[in-house]
Structure 1
Amino acid sequence: MDPVIVAGAGPVGLTLALALARQEVPCVVLDEGPGKDEPRAARTVVLREDIVALVERLTGVRLAGLGCRWAGWRSMRRKQVTREVEFDDADPAPLHLPQHELTGVLRTALARESLVKVAVDSRLDGIEQERSGVTAHTRGPGGTWWRGSYLVGCDGPRSTVRKLQDIRFPGRTAVERYAVATLRTELPWTDEALLHRMPPWRTSGPSAGEVVGRPLPDGVWRLDWLLPPGKDLVTPELLVNRVRETLTGWAEGVTPSYELLDTGVHTVHHRLARRWRVGRVFLAGDAAHLLGALGTQGLEEGLRDADNLAWKLALAWHHGPREALLDSYQEERRSVIAARLRAADQVLPLLRGGGGLRSYVPGSSRGHDTLLADGHLGRGALGAPGAYADSPLTPGPLAGETAVGTPPGSPVSDVRITAEDGTFVRLRDRLGRGSLLVVLIAPGTGVWDRKHWVTAGIMPRLAAAVTALPHRAELLVAEAYPGAAAHTVLLVRPDGHLVSAFSGVRPADLYAAAEAALGGAATDTTDTPRDEDAEARAAAGSR
């Protein structure tokens, strides 16, 4: 079987290649650059706990040592603090780190991976599909043809893969613009992120705007100033003036010393590809979507694309394609991004329109500040990880289903579980291996060695049901799970989304749910192969 071709060596492409390799799928990564990333202090990323866990699981590296976890968050309007958040174990802080540190960790992990080949200085310029695979052509010093089973375009906003497949990319340009500066200085607060709207030193006009401060390690801060609409040139003098007036305002009149490390302008576009799959070619990350207004993080969604697609491609690579399963990637991920973009479109006029009757409604500004903070903190409609509530992989109604604290299609809670070898680990540690997870909620098991209860009660019947599932599954035991009664059984996808929950051991229901999560019953296509070239042409003609 030919390897999967990943076009693009940014964080999304590197993560996808690692995720596939962890499931024993060989990959070729086409990197149009030299194989290393230029450090840019002004280019940083904010990662929530689920994405931190994903990267750490794939690389074996603790990311906390490369970035800064915020001690807290505060929202300010003029001189008033409107909201304060303190993070703890139940509500972990986001992790803020330079993007080149993230890609460096991913590249180092890939260099140790024998199943992945990174082809540097290889710019994609041609794709050919046929029933059995994909052929890609690259130009450059080592320009050649590459043969693959599938190809995934992770090649950014100007995606060559998307253009070669003639996929439209509609949306809006320059939804927001920010001036960015990264500097080393000492602020009145330590390791606390800040959103300051209408700061008192900027008293009128659209340029009054807002500034966001995010800490990095070693006393470094990234500051982002919302720019007024238009394409006015952001000069070095303007940026220095913004830095000085902001630091002076926060220090109440005395400009602290600072070292300016890097500057830039960040322009936010909102776009969504019409299709994310054409035959054996897929899109992921910025090649498929652009978002990021109101504090949201587009890279996080790209990494969630990789997590969603990896286990589905791995199953197809090892066992033959289940077309419904592969199609579900677009249906699940595109619907989540579309919902995020719709939420931003609805909120933007409220937050950026200014004036009007809304400005006189009591408490409206506080509500607007909360909406903005949600985008930065990964909460609410703007920022929370998406759920696949209407996924085609959701099983139909089953008699034994029961409700737990996690709705079907949502990411599961990261509870402590007992693995099959008797060790205590976190549930997230067992994700990304290509296996379904079956979790029994059994209070009291945590105080006994596994050997004392593994053959007692309902365990033998559940173990037999797990062995009979249509795909390999790992049986885990948890003492508790939010909203779950004793002897509840959870079925979890390889990417950590809940398929269903059952009251007790119900082998037939468990099997039906597992089959649905895999895209339905497997079909033998050996004698009647699908003409994917014809399907791709027909789909292209319908756009």
Structure 2
Amino acid sequence: MDPVIVAGAGPVGLALSLALAAQGVPSVVLDEGTGTDDPRPARTAILRPDTAALMARLGCTTLGDEGAHWIGWRLMRRKQLMRELPLGEDAPAPLHIPQHALSRGLRSAIAGQELVRVVTGNRLDSLEQDARGVTVHTRGPGATWWRGSHLVGCDGARSTVRKLLGIRFPGRTAVERHAVAALRAELPWPGEALLHRQPPWSGGGEEVSARPLADGVWRLDWLLPSRGELVTPDALVTRLRDTLAGWCGETPPYELLDTGVYTLHHRLARRWRAGRAFLAGDAAHLLGAVGTQGLDEGLRDVGNLAWKIAEDWHHGASETLLDSYQAERRTAVAARLRAADQSLPILRGGGGLRTYMPGATRGHDTLLADGHLGHGPLGAPPAYPHSPLAPPRAEAQTAVGTPPGAPVEDVRVTAPDGTTVRLGDRLGRGLHLVVLVAPGTGVWDRRHWLTAGVMPRLAAAVTALPVRAELLVTEAYPGASAHSVLLVRPDGHLVAAFGGVRPADLYAAADAARGGSPSAPSEVRADAP
């Protein structure tokens, strides 16, 4: 069968190819560039715990060496410390890493992966679809045609794939504008991230942030007027020196590594699927105001889409399953954009409170922390409670600490071979997970509990499911009683939980989670080009 064609070799495209390979699906990555990423220390990525875990599962080797977990978060207004939050075990910290280092780690993982082929110097310029695949043409030194089972446009904000599919990309222009600098220096809060609102020194502007990277490097961002005058290099250095002096009493020694000015836009593609072609990452959405992270959402696209394409590639999938990518991810990103747009007049002032969002009464400081640290409607991992893959309510379903459609907790589980691992370690392999909550199994001999109690009946029910599934056992799960059974999707979202072993209900939930029986590939859908 033909490989999946991935257009674009940024972090999202590279991650998608690795996620597909982990599920036995080959891919060809069409890279417009040379296969290397120019070091830009001021261009960084902030990964929430869920997306950092995804990168680790995909074999990205640079996270520990070149990424930095913040040890704390502080927010200041004028000369006053408004909030200080330690980060660590109880409050997981984001991972801050230069984007070129992240891409390099992904390329290194691909180098040892036989199922991924990266082709440099190839820009896609046309595409055609039929019932069984996609044919694309690329221009460049080796201009040629490529045949794929599916096409995923991960080719950025100016996506050629999106344009060739005729998909509109409406939204707001110049939502925020920032000046940015990367430098090596000693600041008063080693390892902590700082957001300083209305700093008291002249020329401080409305907001400046300092976020640590590895090796004593910091990234500083200054919020600029959205349509203000150009920021010259000299003006940016003056702003930098004034800011350092404001924080340290005098300008300390520093090494300036990189500078830039960037503008944030908020846009959302009308459709994310057209036949056998899909959009992901910046090709599908742009966001980033008040601390939201566009790359985070692009990597969440990867986790959602990869297992669905893999299911279609190996076994055939229903239209419901393939459509669920847009239904789930577009809805989640739209909610994130809506939360950011509603927060802006509250946080920035000027235009008055056009509207209110849940949680606004907690104060501006909490809203900003949510966006920057990945909490609440501005940053928390998405849930899909109204997914087309959600099973109908069954009497045997029971409530646990995770609502249906939300990401499951990363509890310790015992795998079929008797090893004890984290639940997150079993994700991303194309398998649904069936987790039995069985207190005491950790101290029992595995030879006994595998053949005792409900295990034989549950094992038989798992074998009979219409999806490939793995049976795991855990001592405890938040909010779950003994003998609860959880069905988890390959991307870690809870399908349903049941009070005891209910083979018929478990089967129905698994069938719903795969979108029902596969559709026969008869013709290209009407919305495909």
Please give the range of the TM-score, normalised by the shorter of the 2 chains: over 0.9
CA change 1:315–1:366 in 2 (3 A) is closer
SS in 1 for 2:528: helix
8 A contact 1:153–1:287 mirrored in 2: yes
What corresponds to 1:497 in structure 2? 493
* Whole-Å separation in 2 of the counterparts to 1:60 and 1:202: 43
* Whole-Å separation in 2 of the counterparts to 1:437 and 1:376: 32
After TM superposition, give the deviation of residue 79 of structure 1 in Å: 1.1
What corresponds to 1:55 in structure 2? 55
Give 1:227's match in structure 2, choosing from 221, 224, 229. Answer: 224
What corresponds to 1:473 in structure 2? 469
What corresponds to 1:34 in structure 2? 34
SS in 2 for 1:108: helix
Give yes or no for the alignment of 1:385 onto 2:377. Answer: no
What corresponds to 1:197 in structure 2? 197
SS in 2 for 1:142: coil
After TM superposition, give the deviation of residue 397 of structure 1 in Å: 0.9
Q: How does 1:422-433 map to 2 (within 5 A)?
A: 422-433=418-429
After TM superposition, give the deviation of residue 145 of structure 1 in Å: 0.2
* Whole-Å separation in 1 of the counterparts to 2:342 and 2:60: 40
After TM superposition, give the deviation of residue 356 of structure 1 in Å: 6.3
8 A contact 1:64–1:95 mirrored in 2: no
SS in 1 for 2:453: coil
* Whole-Å separation in 2 of the counterparts to 1:122 and 1:301: 26
Q: TM-score, normalised by structure 2?
A: 0.97
Identity %: 71
What corresponds to 1:531 in structure 2? 523
What corresponds to 1:264 in structure 2? 260
8 A contact 2:75–2:83 mirrored in 1: yes
Partner AA of 1:468 in structure 2 = A
Q: How does 1:121-140 map to 2 (within 5 A)?
A: 121-140=121-140
8 A contact 1:130–1:533 mirrored in 2: no
* Whole-Å separation in 1 of the counterparts to 2:281 and 2:222: 25
8 A contact 2:60–2:106 mirrored in 1: no
SS in 1 for 2:435: strand
Q: Which consecutive residues of structure 1, in runs of 5 or more, have no partner in the other structure?
A: 359-363, 538-543
SS in 2 for 1:232: coil
After TM superposition, give the deviation of residue 533 of structure 1 in Å: 5.4
8 A contact 2:275–2:524 mirrored in 1: yes
8 A contact 1:214–1:221 mirrored in 2: yes
Give yes or no for the alignment of 1:79 onto 2:71. Answer: no
* Whole-Å separation in 2 of the counterparts to 1:141 and 1:414: 47
Q: Deviations over 1:484-503 (max 9, x none)?
A: 11111000000000000000
SS in 2 for 1:425: strand
After TM superposition, give the deviation of residue 366 of structure 1 in Å: 7.6
What corresponds to 2:210 in structure 1? 213
CA change 1:535–1:40 in 2 (3 A) is closer
8 A contact 1:177–1:227 mirrored in 2: yes
Q: Deviations over 1:363-398 (max 9, x none)?
A: x99811211111000001111111101100000111
What corresponds to 1:162 in structure 2? 162
SS in 2 for 1:376: helix
* Whole-Å separation in 1 of the counterparts to 2:321 and 2:116: 24
After TM superposition, give the deviation of residue 521 of structure 1 in Å: 2.9
8 A contact 2:487–2:494 mirrored in 1: yes
After TM superposition, give the deviation of residue 52 of structure 1 in Å: 1.1
Aligned pairs, number: 525
* Whole-Å separation in 2 of the counterparts to 1:354 and 1:291: 21
* Whole-Å separation in 2 of the counterparts to 1:150 and 1:484: 39
* Whole-Å separation in 1 of the counterparts to 2:467 and 2:436: 18
After TM superposition, give the deviation of residue 345 of structure 1 in Å: 1.2
Q: Deviations over 1:406-450 (max 9, x none)?
A: 000000000011111111100000000000000001111112232
8 A contact 2:346–2:353 mirrored in 1: no
8 A contact 2:196–2:207 mirrored in 1: yes
* Whole-Å separation in 2 of the counterparts to 1:479 and 1:180: 47
* Whole-Å separation in 2 of the counterparts to 1:301 and 1:216: 21
Partner AA of 2:528 in structure 1 = A
Partner AA of 2:391 in structure 1 = P
Q: How does 1:27-426 map to 2 (within 5 A)?
A: 27-59=27-59, 61=61, 63-202=63-202, 208-251=205-248, 253-354=249-350, 367-426=363-422
8 A contact 2:398–2:498 mirrored in 1: yes
CA change 1:182–1:469 in 2 (3 A) is same
After TM superposition, give the deviation of residue 353 of structure 1 in Å: 2.1
8 A contact 1:137–1:145 mirrored in 2: yes
Q: Deviations over 1:336-376 (max 9, x none)?
A: 00000111111111111248699xxxxx9981121111100
After TM superposition, give the deviation of residue 520 of structure 1 in Å: 1.5
Q: Deviations over 1:446-486 (max 9, x none)?
A: 12232221111100000000000001100000111111111
Q: Deviations over 1:88-117 (max 9, x none)?
A: 223221111101111001101111111111
After TM superposition, give the deviation of residue 536 of structure 1 in Å: 2.1
What corresponds to 1:462 in structure 2? 458
* Whole-Å separation in 1 of the counterparts to 2:228 and 2:126: 35
8 A contact 1:435–1:473 mirrored in 2: yes
Partner AA of 1:412 in structure 2 = V
CA change 1:56–1:386 in 2 (3 A) is same
8 A contact 1:422–1:449 mirrored in 2: no
- The more displaced of 91-100 and 173-182 is 91-100
